[in-house]
Amino acid sequence: MKHMEVDGIRVEIVRKDIKHIYLRVCPPDGRVRVSVPRRVDDATVRSAVTARLDWIRRQQARHAGEARAARRELVTGETHWYEGRAYRLQVIEGEHHPSVQLQDGTMELRVRPGSDEAKRRAVLEAWYRKSLKEKLPPLLAHWEPKVGVQVAECRIRKMKTRWGSCNIAARRIWLNLELAKKPSELLEWILVHEMVHLLERRHNSRFRALLDGLLPDWRLRRDALNRPPVPGGKDAKRES
Ligand SMILES: [Zn+2]
């Protein structure tokens, strides 16, 4: 592989048996790679890259932002989410019981002096978990008679690719801890979605008809949940 520099941007060039020039900005570091037909000379490659410099810089900025967002260190000044609202994190060290409190637009994370990142994260996650857990009994009490199912157990865990899952035989539902950061109606949507799976395993027309009857705006909620900021979540799926 060879490379060239175009306006301060290093571009990797790969010659292949292809017909057109393909340009790609690769996450997470924003590396620029261009695949080029074998017969195309460097001057042509350079002008193709130059023509798309604005696009390349936008893509690089986007990847940099995503990498930064994924790399939160739980330090004062970061943005953190709760119930669909953004808060500015303020870490307060002191000899008090670790806690999280929301004050206007600030999320106050109280920890003992010298708490490292892992400790700060544990305090915040415990708070998210407790908050979600408190919302579940009233939601279940409301939806069990409507859906016509009894949920044996509803638990919270960290999941990388799903918002929720369920074990139909055990009537057990799992919810993604990330839902604590989302508006309550989106938590409700995932819960109802999983409860409906206790009646219908697949995402078929019966499943959608059941949802239409229970939660007529479920498509809006689904789409809202899959807009950023998301943890890479897709539509909820069931567990095995
Ligand atoms: Zn599903």
Please write the tens of the pLDDT for every residue from 192-230: 999 999 999 999 999 999 999 999 999 999 999 877 654
Q: Which residue has the tokens 């924003």?
A: 30
Check the CA dihedral 71-74-78-79 and report its sign.
positive
235 within some domain: no
140 shares a domain with 200: yes
Q: What's the whole-model pTM score?
A: 0.69
Enclosing domain of residue 10:
2-70
71 CA distance to ligand 1 middle (Å): 29
pLDDT for 233 equals 36
pLDDT for 158 equals 92
Task: Please report, for residues 118, 130, 157, the alpha-carbon distance to residue 176 in angstroms, rounded to integers and kept in the order given.
Answer: 20, 13, 5
Burial (0-12, 13-18, 19+ Cβ within 10 Å), 2:
exposed
33 CA distance to ligand 1 middle (Å): 37
197 CA distance to ligand 1 middle (Å): 6
Confidence grade of residue 70 (pLDDT, cut at 50, 70, 90): low
Please write the tens of the pLDDT for every residue from 117-133: 999 999 999 999 999 99
51 shares a domain with 99: no
Q: Is the pLDDT of residue 85 over 90?
A: yes
86 CA distance to ligand 1 middle (Å): 28
- Contacting residues for 153 by C-beta, under 8 A, at least 6 apart: 170, 171, 172, 173
> Partners of 24 in the beta sheet?
33
CA–CA distance, 91 with 109 (Å, rounded to integer): 5
pLDDT for 53 equals 92
236 within some domain: no
pLDDT for 121 equals 95
Q: Which residue has the tokens 């309550």?
A: 184
Please write the tens of the pLDDT for every residue from 142-196: 999 999 999 999 999 998 888 999 999 999 999 999 999 999 999 999 999 999 9
Please give the distance of CA 132 from its chain centroid, rounded to a whole number.
17
161 CA distance to ligand 1 middle (Å): 13
Q: Domain end: 47, 70, 93, which one?
A: 70
Confidence grade of residue 96 (pLDDT, cut at 50, 70, 90): confident
129 CA distance to ligand 1 middle (Å): 22
- Residue 210 identity (one-letter amino acid): L
Q: Is the pLDDT of residue 235 over 60?
A: no
CA–CA distance, 78 with 146 (Å, rounded to integer): 41
38 shares a domain with 100: no
- Beta carbons within 10 angstroms of residue 56's beta carbon: 21
pLDDT for 212 equals 98
Q: Is the pLDDT of residue 56 over 70?
A: yes
CA–CA distance, 175 with 213 (Å, rounded to integer): 22
Which residue, 111, 114, 113, 115, is CA-closest to 98?
A: 111
> Partners of 25 in the beta sheet?
32
140 CA distance to ligand 1 middle (Å): 18
121 CA distance to ligand 1 middle (Å): 29
As for how many domains the chain has, the answer is: 3
131 CA distance to ligand 1 middle (Å): 24
87 shares a domain with 151: no
- Whichever domain contains 203, its CATH number is 3.30.2010.10
